[in-house]
């Protein structure tokens, strides 16, 4: 690795949203390299992950990209967020239902 190179964050997981090369992508798959670490190289070298990405842009294109995560400058993983759980105190259809006749 070049001496001025700063590794990116930890590799993402499938399904996460990431920014790579100033574009938003969805992670389709992540595979750890099968190469054995080179004992003659830097001991701090991080493992390489092949990350397969699908464009999250809403322009209708199905762009795909495959990158080695550790070499992507500025790549970021968005924190996982969940949508709030809806609380059904009153639903519009419950007032329209008729009680069963006896």
pLDDT in tens, the chain (102 residues): 434 444 566 899 999 999 999 999 999 999 988 776 665 565 556 778 999 999 988 876 789 999 999 889 989 898 766 556 766 666 655 555 666 665
In a domain, 41, yes or no: yes
**Which has the closest alpha carbon to 75: 3, 18, 6, 14?**
18
How many domains would you assign to the chain? 1
Q: Quick check: is 33 in a domain?
A: yes
Q: Do the domain assignments include residue 70? A: yes
- Residue 95 domain-assigned? no
Find all residues with CB under 8 Å of 98, minimum gap 6, and list them: none
pLDDT at 48 (0 to 100): 86
Structural domain that includes position 28: 17-77
Q: What pLDDT sits at residue 25? A: 92
- Looking at the domain assignment, is residue 67 inside a domain? yes
Burial of 20 (0-12, 13-18, 19+ CB in 10 A): buried
Q: Is residue 12 part of a domain?
A: no
**Is the separation of the CB atoms in 47 and 30 below 8 Å?**
no
């Amino acid at each position: 690795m070049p001496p001025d190179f700063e590794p990116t964050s930890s590799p993402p997981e499938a399904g996460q949203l990431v920014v790579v090369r100033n574009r938003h992508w969805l992670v389709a798959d992540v595979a750890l390299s099968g190469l054995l670490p080179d004992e003659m190289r830097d001991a701090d070298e991080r493992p390489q992950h092949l990350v397969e990405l699908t464009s999250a842009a809403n322009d209708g294109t199905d762009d795909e990209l495959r990158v080695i995560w550790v070499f992507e400058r500025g790549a970021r993983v968005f924190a996982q967020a969940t949508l709030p759980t809806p609380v059904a105190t009153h639903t519009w259809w419950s007032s329209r239902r008729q009680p069963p006749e006896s």
